[in-house]
Structure 1
Amino acid sequence: MTDASSAPSAPHSPGPGDHVFLVDGSSFIFRAYFQSMNQDARYNYRSDRLPTGAVRLFCNVLYKMIREGVMGKKPTHLAIIFDKSEESFRKELYPPYKAHRPPPPEELVPQFPLMRDAVRAFGLRPVEQIRYEADDLIATYCRIAVEGGADVTIVSADKDLMQLIRPGVVMFDPASGDQKAKGSRPERVIGEAEVLEKFGVTPDKVVDVQALAGDSTDNVPGVPGIGVKTAAQLLNEYGDLETLLARAGEIKQAKRRENLIEHAGLARISRELVKLVTDVVLETPIEELVAPGIDARGAIAFLKAMEFSTLTRRIAEDTGIDAAAVEPDEFLKVPASDFAPAPAGPGAAAGGPPAEAQSGAPPLGGHAGTPAALVDQVRAKLAATPVDVGRYETVSSLEALDRWIAEARERGVVAFDTETTSLDAMQAEMVGFSLALEPGRACYVPLRHRDKADLFGAGLMPGQVAPEEALPRLKLLLEDASVLKIGQNLKYDALVMQGEAIRIASYDDTMLMSYVLDAGKGNHGMDELSVRHLGHKPIAFSEVAGSGKSLIGFDQVPIDRATAYAAEDADVTLRLWLLFKARLVAEGMLTVYETLERPLVAELAKMEARGIMIDRQILSRLSGEFAQSAARLEAAIHELAGETFNVGSPKQLGDILFGKMQLPGGRKTPTGQWATSASVLEDLAEQGLELPRRIVEWRQLTKLKSTYTDALPTYVNPRSGRVHTSFALAATTTGRLSSSEPNLQNIPVRTEEGRKIRTAFIAAPGAKLISADYSQIELRVLAHVAEIPQLKQAFADGIDIHAMTASEMFGVPVHGMDPQVRRRAKAINFGIIYGISAFGLANQLAISREEAGAYIRRYFERFPGIRDYMDRMKAECRNQGYVTTVFGRKCHFPAIESRNPSERAFVERQAINAPIQGSAADIIRRAMVRMDAALAKASLSARMLLQVHDELVFEAPEGEVEATLPVVTAVMEGAALPALSLKVPLKVDARAADNWEEAH
């Protein structure tokens, strides 16, 4: 092996012949730590007493994996994937999730950042992402790799990842410790047979087994009385979880039957908790994860700083580098005390400065009377007023409630929060609400806490205010525009209050304030914000409502415990608001918050409440069509094979193709089975072999059926009969919205069968769906911000932008242009926005890398302003840590200073793209904020239902469609005004039809 530090591997998407290694870094950290406890203590510390034992083992395994691979296979792509934080979307779905996990060992805490430094030192990029766990990222990378035709090895022993095993995907469990030691186990490969042995079912049913059995380690509740063995028996008999729950009444064992019927909801929640997400919008594209050669100098510098002499010597010998000539990484040569874990919890706020100061964030340091000085004063006051849950008041009478409401109206500001029975705001029942008037002064108003001893009679606990008397008073307060209501993720509370016929007027949202100030710096959930900014860890949901099988609904929580929990939320929210309000002014971000974030809360709440109709019959028919087509394909497959077999069984399929029929290209996986991945089958199909081609078609059809046509009807709300997605405002760095439960921004449109699914999204009787879509908005924004005369002129003249680009680059006339030439120009136009490499463009256009490189060089020669813009954005991000959209939104990229060249290059590409993508996102936000008022002014009753990136979807009465189209188009095309006059016109294509596919 040679020193490859100066020759990073070119990015490329994994395809046939590639092997993707996905390493579960988060679980390996703990495993390495406990293994290190079995070795000589001298090897577990640096000379300054910094704990490093787990890092040492991690580095040894990482080096071996890069250099040798595993089980005779070397990676073409290698990802080391970590958990970013514990605040994943699963905690939003089910707050007790992982709530009672103990804190990590004290000596492991300082090694967490060192693990990531080690990954960078070896020439890799640590992969992590807010809101998602490492397992979700692994699942998404796995799906992309398999769809591209690559094989995947998941390096982990985590049972949750076993649901991903399929043709072309195996798990590798590295050796555990000294093989002679008690309790150790050798390295092993986990395939379908091993999953079947562990769970009693095939990998596709692992999720359903876990949903029934639960997991006490992660607080996944499951169904009482059902373990893994029983779950497997039931699923093998009934097929899947939903069928089992639907037919639970047929089960003979009385207790088992009763538990399944009573706890069906827990089983479904559990399934959502254990089911891995396979469509994460990845911040680190898979093509960027090409396995590098060893960055020998970087690795040696890190290892010398860690004092790992044996591995330093080994790498130096392997790469021919003189280790003595490489200086230790000075950044890591710091006193061990700097790595000591900071105190956390309620005592932290009382005993010292807020967490921002503890973590090294300096005060703004403004002169007295300036906005910056005010921020420092607010921080100091908050630090001097510790959170004391014992001081909160339970409001149990109308007289007390009237006093609190009167004072709120007198002050003109009140923090407000709801407690409910569900995380689904469309189906939640309000249990109580909390108010806070100043730091330390908060109350909880219980309304519907039920006595556990009288659940069937719905008996209420004593000491509560009657809802029919409290809610009219609350309505007067919340609808009073002269009183500012402060909330955290207020969209949820707004939807809950809509269910009580209450509209919240005049509000601020601390989650969105944080998002405007610190997008890209971390999560914006209340608990994390409290720890980060106030140095206070709030009461966990599990502390009041239990967890796992002991979980109770909030309506069963004793009122005194509910008061401590709920009033604290309001108190913390008010404190965050005081700090963020001052920061918005001091940091010049108030206008961004006031114009792009706060107004959208009400609009999205209305859109979510409206929902969209789906035609179950169309989905059912499509499911039937897909099933029939799959059955016909299956029959043809059996005929071609000369026998019947389970087409979905990789083992049986491999035996037929390569054992019986002796087709070319057969190779066995480490488990001894024939490889039957998508790439293997597609390669055979391209050779003109009929049987593999039919199998590929069968797999595509069955996936469409299970993922879409069968699943979408389960999201229909029983009250409204419509599908209500949830839009997240603070989920991306650039301001783009995301959609979940279900994700309606990801409906497939690439295949004819996939596009048919959109036909199931329909208008109500007597109405039409309208789809209004910005045309090439990101290229238009690029022309504006990069000052490209040719692009600006082409957009102004309405010329085909891709044909114009081709004409400029290749010297061919626009009229009568070869479509192939235009396609190349289109690929370059869109690729430049996302920093495409010559390698990536070569793959996309099926040309040589040299030819692709020549295209890109010619592009920059013809449009020099684009290169100037890119250089300007990279310098701007390096200088200030963020870039801005044309409307002033800040997109932070802390990793721009990374010492790892590949990571730094990736972040630079993000910094180049963020102002373009973010400006486009801001434009459609501005359109959404104005849309309802514009429609109302025109006396039109069209309703905005969905936002899908650059597209808005409406429902309008048939008789108003012709009048609605120009209003929608005008609002969208004029959305940047009056704040900004773009140098290129915006263009919107709007059409109406009976269903979404026809309208798009």
Structure 2
Amino acid sequence: MTLTHKPVGPGSHVFLVDGSSFVFRAYFQSIRQDAKYNYRSDRLPTGAVRLFCTKLLQFVRDGAAGAKPTHLAIIFDKSEQSFRKEIYPDYKAHRSEPPEDLVPQFPLMRAAVRAFGLTPIEQDLYEADDLIATYAVQARAKGADVLIVSADKDLMQLVEPGVVMYDPASGTAGAKGSREERIIGEAEVIDYFGVTPDKVVDVQALAGDSTDNVPGAKGIGVKTAAQLINEYGDLDTLLAKAPEIKQPKRREALTEPEAVKLIRLSKKLVTLVRDAPVETPLEDLGLHEPDARTLVAFLQAMEFTTITRRVAELYGVDIHDVAPDPNFVGPAGWRARDGEVREDAPAAPQAAEPAKPAGKSAAEEFTPASLVATRQAEAQATKIDRSAYECVTSLERLDRWIADAREAGIVALDTETTSLDPMQCELVGVSLAVAPGRACYIPLGHREHGSGDLFGGAALLSSQIPLGEAIAKLKPLFEDAAILKIAHNMKYDLLVLARYGIDVAPIEDTMLISYALDSGLNNHGLDELALKHLGHENITFASVAGSGRSFIGFARVALDKATEYGAEDADVSLRLWRALKPRLPAEHMTNVYETLERPMVATLMRMERRGVMIDRAILSRLSGEFAQDMARLEADIFELAGESFNLGSPKQLGDILFGKMGLPGAKKTATGAWSTSASVLEDLAAEGNAFARRILDWRQLSKLKSTYADALPGYVNPETGRVHTSYALAATTTARLSSSEPNLQNIPVRNEAGRKIRKAFIAAPGRVLISADYSQIELRLLAHIADIPQLKKAFADNLDIHAMTASEMFGVPVKDMPAEVRRRAKAINFGIIYGISAFGLANQLGISREEAGAYIKRYFERFPGIRDYMDATRKTVREKCEVTTIFGRVYHFPRIASANASDRAFYERAAINAPIQGAAADIIRRAMVRMDDALASAGLSAQMLLQVHDELVFEAAAGEAEATIEVARRVMERAPAPAAHLSVPLKVDARAAANWDEAH
């Protein structure tokens, strides 16, 4: 039954099969069946292809839903780059990768269609649904009946008299009434969407679609959307009359200009194209007998015994007279890559044969969990041989390695440089790995050892490829979208290579994979992960480049040692990726990694390259002011102590506090000295001790002077004239970013001295700085996560949350709220999040511990949901040693069962806080990832420069300030969607000014 030209008219039955959807249905049905049928003898996964062929044969021989096809189209999505991506880049942005053992079956599905004598239908720019819609319209125009074989709700808009959908589910096509199969007509569409098929698009535009990342209208689901459309008739009428809607939230969601834009955009995204320029005419889909020998040859090659025998019987073919199709049977080695099944020579030999877990059945071997076990066993068994690495010193050999990388489709990389500052260092060498054990090092900036100094003067080695020629070769490889680039801490390599005009993509980062999987269980450095997952101890940098007085710098390391060190890093990164990546789907961490971790690499790289301007004159003046203030404090401190001493010496200070003065609260450190930590001094200061208060003030000024006023000018990049901080993604346990060189996260914002430092951060001439800061985000998340009605209502009504809390607790009307009462409520609100004790609250408010305890008790009585949340979280972390955020990020607490009661209490407080602070961290990450595109789409020149806790700092043209604020606020407030829909609104405070302090 091959396709041929056949007129379409009344009496014709056009079957349109949603091939892309069918592939996944077949796959997930196959993995529930006996595994021995799911793999060819050479371990090629074929289970989905087998079921696909079985259904396809049933369609062409028996038909479905009481009809036999006269015309048949199997329609696939050609790629994800449809025209919808052009109008909304985030369309389908959060879809997870297909299962690893389904990928090699995609091209086999198309081969199966051809073996049946059919033509796989697929087209650039259009999705399979658009082609189905176009063929359906054409067929109905000619009087034919149409059967759409799919259960996809997006196709329900096509249902009309003469067009129905058929969901074969797990039933047998053609056997009407078999288990789970069903016809989807108008009644079924109404049952699903609540509207007739002609109004489905309007409902989808309002409800959105989290699977395809269609935004829709905030807070409106399918049920509400259907009610609105049925009430107002259609979407245009609804939007026109939306100001009349009585419910405030619903009215706002349908009238706010940006919301309306998103609704109309959503309608464009969900509306199927019904006039696509199809490349295969409808009449050419006519069905006739297939070439039976060709079909049998393919089925034999796939080793489908049952269906091969059935086809042979149906078409009178002697199986023994037909050889398996040689295009699909080859040597023992097969590989699936880039959507194409290829026969290749066996992969390059490794140091040892990968070990497989003992006692695994075929089904277990190809589940996500078993793939993890297989890869982990392989990682431990395949030892690293540094002597096998190659030092590449000729263009011919570099070409060969680049060709191998293209052939492999993946390459791990690592850069060696003259310093750790990626904005100023020079490239010394690049390492590549294309398979475990197959790695090389390409020296580019090595110098003769023993002459010159560390900063230049020595001649470049003549035995290495000139830098410019190597860059010209590597740039196309690193920028090729078809080749995956892997590295550990990829942001550093991106920054280094960007200095040479190379924009690396797409990427994988093993440090961030580890962080997504094992936050709280271990650190995520390359050396530690190599030891943990590979059982391998890496060469240390100091062992090849020296340290201290013996440091020679990597540029002077001998090439054989440099090759061992550099190539090992790339090799280990590749091996770690193979071992860790399968854990993401197995442990349901794919979305965390792909939406919260990996996209941040490029986002932060751009921010770091932009940098921020500082005013050195302001900092110089502040340094002088701080020095004078410190001198005055020193005089006061020495007078109170009755003697002078070294304020920077904890020992001398301890002797004064607890030896000479005999103050309470003395604690000894592990060394036996008195503790003079900030917490000890703060406890004393809270009790009214002026000496401790002045010590704290002196310390803060000393830190601000040394860390910022004096040090910041030294961080100005001579090439850019700006300060470029470095952000660390995997450095905290709560997903908060940290910054260093310089650290901009710890500048105090609640005291005058800290605000003076922020004044020194300025905008370029003609531009302004914009600070956009989430307002009380952690309290809002607490209200959502713990489901606190009073707090949720207060936030929804935009009330003063601290005044409302005070009113709830102390019975004081909000209108006449004394400032001190509000301050106490504020301290409790924020303190509760961090597990504040009665002692801590007493110190903070300057009240007795008993009174503070009464406040906390009253707080939990007024908001019992918070206590319930805390108790539930404690129970969870004790049972599972982990907690999870609303975005699926997992925080591990392996020491929650510590024998030390103080430790247990600490980890319980951390576990209670983690889902709140972690969600806040992830929300701002989601905003940051989307921000650059949002600004560019709005035609704005603004750039995101800094992230500090819940705040983003931008630089914008003065004339674009308001527009930039509008975009920033919109992106930040909508950041949780579509992954999470909060029951409280997020609020962002934003303003523009000439410097950071005035903008905050």
Which whole-Å CA distance do the structure 1 matches of 2:909 and 2:664 have between them?
40
Give the partner amino acid of 1:491. K
In structure 2, what is the equivalent of residue 380 of structure 1? Answer: 377
3-state SS of 1:416 partner: strand
Q: Which residue of 1 aligns with 2:834?
A: 834
Counterpart check, 1:565 vs 2:565: yes
Letter in 2 for 1:528: E
* Residue 465 (structure 1) aligned with residue 459 (structure 2): no
**Structure-to-structure mapping, 1:300-699, within 5 angstroms:** 367-455=364-452, 457-629=457-629
CA distance in 2, matches of 1:716, 1:631: 29
Q: Could you say which residue in structure 1 is the equivalent of 2:892?
A: 892
Letter of the 2:741 partner, please give it.
Answer: E
Q: CA deviation at 1:935?
A: 0.3
Cα drift, residue 548 of structure 1 = 2.8
User: How has the CA–CA distance of structure 1 residues 364 and 919 changed in structure 2, closer, same or farther, with 3 Å as cutoff?
Assistant: farther
Task: Tell me which residue corresponds to 2:291.
Answer: none
Partner of 2:105: none
Q: Could you tell me which residue of structure 2 aligns to residue 903 of structure 1?
A: 903
1:850 positional shift: 2.5
User: Larger Rg: 1 or 2?
Assistant: 2
Cα pair distance change 1:894/1:758, threshold 3 Å: same
Q: Is the Cα contact below 8 Å between 1:842 and 1:848 reproduced in 2?
A: yes
CA drift at 1:637 = 9.6
Q: Specify the code of the residue in structure 1 equivalent to 2:845.
A: L
**Secondary structure of residue in 2 paired with 1:437:** strand
Instruction: Give unpaired runs (5+ residues) of structure 2.
Output: 1-350
Task: Please give the alpha-carbon distance, in whole angstroms, between the structure 2 residues aligned to 1:739 and 1:631.
Answer: 30
Deviation at 1:936, TM superposition (A): 0.3
1:705 is aligned to 2:709: no
Q: What code does the residue aligned with 2:881 have?
A: G
Mapped to 1, the partners of 2:547 and 2:559 lie a distance apart of 18
**2:865 partner letter:** G
Encode CA deviations 1:56-84: one digit per residue, 9 max, x unaligned: xxxxxxxxxxxxxxxxxxxxxxxxxxxxx
Length-normalised TM-score, structure 1 = 0.59
What SS is found at the alignment partner of 1:896?
coil
Letter in 1 for 2:380: A
Check the 8 A contact 2:431/2:566 in 1, yes or no.
yes
Show the counterpart of 2:114: none
Q: 1-side partners of 2:687 and 2:921: how far apart?
A: 44
Q: Distance in 2 between matches of 1:725 and 1:590?
A: 29
Opposite residue 423 of structure 2, the aligned amino acid is M
- Does the C-alpha gap of structure 1 residues 645 and 844 become closer, same or farther in structure 2, counting only changes over 3 Å? closer
Matched residue type, 1:425: P
| Structure 1 residues 717-753: Cα deviation after superposition (integer angstroms, max 9, x where no partner) | 2222221111110011221111112110001234322
Distance across 2 between alignment mates of 1:821 and 1:407: 70
**1:961 shift after superposition:** 0.8
Q: Deviations over 1:865-922 (max 9, x none)?
A: 1122112212222222211110000111101222332222221111111000000100
* 1:761-787 deviations in Å (ceiling 9; x for gaps): 111111111111000001111111111
CA contact (8 A) 1:449 1:557 kept: yes
Paired AA for residue 431 in structure 2 = S
Question: Which SS does the other structure have where 1:897 is aligned?
Answer: coil
- Please give the alpha-carbon distance, in whole angstroms, between the structure 2 residues aligned to 1:669 and 1:831: 25
Matched, 1:766 2:766: yes
Distance 1:350 1:437, change over 3 A: closer
Shift of 1:635: 8.6
- Paired amino acid for 1:383: Q
Cα distance change on mapping 1:369 and 1:676 into 2, 3 Å: closer
3-state secondary structure, aligned to 1:895:
coil
CA shift, 1:546, in A, is 2.3
Deviations, residues 299-348 of structure 1 (Å, cap 9, x unaligned)? xxxxxxxxxxxxxxxxxxxxxxxxxxxxxxxxxxxxxxxxxxxxxxxxxx
Does the CA contact (< 8 Å) of 2:654 and 2:674 recur in 1?
yes
One-letter amino acid matched to 1:884: T
Deviation at 1:483, TM superposition (A): 0.6
Structure 2: how far apart are the matches of 1:779 and 1:692?
A: 32
How has the CA–CA distance of structure 1 residues 507 and 627 changed in structure 2, closer, same or farther, with 3 Å as cutoff? same
Give the distance between the partners of 2:663 and 2:420, measured in 1 at CA. Answer: 51
Q: Evaluate the alpha carbon distance shift between residue 432 and residue 792 of structure 1 in structure 2; reply closer, same or farther with a 3 A threshold.
A: same
Letter in 2 for 1:509: D
Matches within 5 A, 1:166-205: none
Cα pair distance change 1:900/1:937, threshold 3 Å: same
Would the alpha carbon gap of residues 430 and 864 (structure 1) be closer, same or farther in structure 2, given more than 3 Å must change? Answer: same
What is the deviation of 1:502? 0.8
Equivalent position of 1:128 in the other structure: none
Structure 1 partner of 2:219: none
Partner of 1:793: 793
The answer to whether residue 727 in structure 2 is matched with residue 727 in structure 1 is yes
User: In structure 2, the residue corresponding to 1:381 is in which secondary structure?
Assistant: helix
* Sequence identity (%): 68
- Using CA pairs under 8 Å that are at least 6 residues apart, name the structure with larger relative contact order, 1 or 2: 1
Deviation of 1:421 after TM superposition, in Å, equals: 1.0
* Preserved contact between residue 686 and residue 843 of structure 2 (Cα < 8 Å): no
Q: Kindly indicate whether the alpha-carbon contact (under 8 Å) linking 1:942 and 1:964 is maintained by their aligned counterparts in 2.
A: yes
Equivalent pair of 2:485/2:506 in contact (CA under 8 Å): yes
Post-superposition CA distance 1:689-714 (Å, at most 9, x none): 99999998777655543343122222
- CA change 1:451–1:973 in 2 (3 A) is same
Say whether the 8 Å CA contact 2:633–2:698 is kept in structure 1.
Answer: yes
Q: 1:883 to 1:684 in 2, by over 3 A?
A: closer
1:439-468 CA distance string (max 9 Å, x none): 111111111111124536542223211111
The answer for the alignment partner of 1:935 in structure 2 is 935
Partner residue of 2:876?
876
* Separation (CA, whole Å) in 1 of partners of 2:827 and 2:610: 38
AA matched with 2:602: A
Aligned length: 644
Whether the 8 Å CA contact 1:520–1:733 is kept in 2: the answer is: yes
Q: Is the 8 A contact 2:544 2:557 kept in 1?
A: yes
Q: How does 1:744-783 map to 2 (within 5 A)?
A: 744-783=744-783
Q: In 1, Cα distance between the equivalents of 2:875 and 2:644? A: 63
Note if contact 1:365-1:372 (Cα within 8 Å) is conserved in structure 2: no
CA contact (8 A) 2:355 2:378 kept: no
| Whole-angstrom distance in 2 between the partners of 1:610 and 1:417 | 23
Structure 2 CA distance for partners of 1:677 and 1:806, relative to 1, 3 Å: closer
- Superposed CA deviations along residues 197-231 of structure 1, whole A, max 9, x for unmatched, are xxxxxxxxxxxxxxxxxxxxxxxxxxxxxxxxxxx
CA 1:363–1:548: 2 relative to 1, 3 Å: farther
What amino acid is aligned across from residue 480 of structure 1 in structure 2? D
Cα distance in 1, alignment partners of residues 779 and 842 from structure 2: 21
Distance 2:948 2:854 in 1: 35
* 1:692 to 1:880, Cα distance in 2 relative to 1, 3 A: closer
Tell me which amino acid in the other structure corresponds to 1:567: A
The code of the aligned residue for 1:940 comes to L
Tell me how far apart the structure 1 counterparts of residues 665 and 794 of structure 2 sit (CA, whole Å): 53
What is the Cα deviation at residue 666 of structure 1? Answer: 14
C-alpha displacement of 1:567: 0.8
The one-character-per-residue Cα deviations of 1:347-380 (angstroms, maximum 9, x if unpaired) are xx979989xx9xxxx9999823211111111123
Q: Tell me the SS of whatever aligns to 2:895.
A: helix
CA, structure 1 residues 951+476, in 2 after alignment: closer, same or farther (shift >3 Å)?
Answer: same
TM-score with structure 2 setting the length: 0.59
Query: Amino acid of the residue matched to residue 942 of structure 1?
Result: A
Is the CA contact 1:616–1:760 (under 8 Å) kept in the aligned structure 2? yes
Structure 1 residue runs of 5 or longer lacking an equivalent are: 1-348
Matches within 5 A, 1:858-873: 858-873=858-873
